[in-house]
Amino acid sequence: MNRRMIVLFAILSVILIASGCGSGGGSGRYTIPPEIPTPGTGGTGGTGGTGETDVDSLVASGWEDFKYGAYSSAINKFNQALTSTSISDSQKTEAYNGLGWALTKSTGVESGYSAFTQAATTSNESRIGLAAALIQRGQKDGFAQALKLLEEVGLRETSTTFSAKNPIGISNAEAHAMIAWCYFWTGDTTRAATQITFARSIEQANDSSVTQIYNSLVALGLKFNN
């Protein structure tokens, strides 16, 4: 396998992490119900009428749909929340974060880029999503930007445990594997080796995205101090 193919293979692994196909979970692990009614629209327990308008309720309902793989419904609810004239800055961050992940799961991490950008100032989940989108582009400047975002999450230190509040399907090991990849491409091979070794210590499955990134780094010449 030539160098370009190795790079593409590892980037694909990062995309799989973000889209929920890695070891951290994501789409395909839930049974999608035939219909997820919005409270108040005539579904089970609803009272009929106009449906939800409260921002917090819309965001919570969007994440519930997301959990079951009903991404189009989730996208609609997060967008509806964002149209509220009474939405606060913190609620806007939550809605954009949800929208970014719902778009990512629906059509790919690049589609979530704009929404993640709106929320990444304060949301670690959006920083992870935006980093994945930048890594996907495969550009040196993008790796540097992604690294900055992942360091803002706190992943520079292996003692930091990334734990998502929402069911985005990104594990701690996967987050550390992502930053290992960024360290490698920004020239810090020592930190790259430390991070991917740590990620592998907590996620050793041979078919995991972490292992795929590890194998790609080894194939690209990453050295380890034993």
- Is 226 part of a structural domain of the chain? no
Residue ranges in the chain whose pLDDT is less than 70: 1-16, 20-52, 226
Number of domains the chain is built from: 1
pLDDT the model gives residue 46: 36
Tokens (6 digits) for 73 = 């419904």
Q: What crossing angle do the helices spanning 71-82 and 89-107 adopt, rounded to 10°?
A: 150
- The gap from C-alpha 103 to its chain's centroid, in whole angstroms, comes to 11
pLDDT the model gives residue 17: 75
For position 87, which CATH number holds?
Answer: 1.25.40.10
pLDDT the model gives residue 68: 95
- Is 224 part of a structural domain of the chain? no
Please name which of 149, 219, 224, 225 lies closest in space to residue 182, comparing C-alpha atoms: 149
pLDDT the model gives residue 23: 44
Tokens (6 digits) for 190 = 């020592």
Expressed as residue numbers, the domain containing 111 is 3-27+51-219
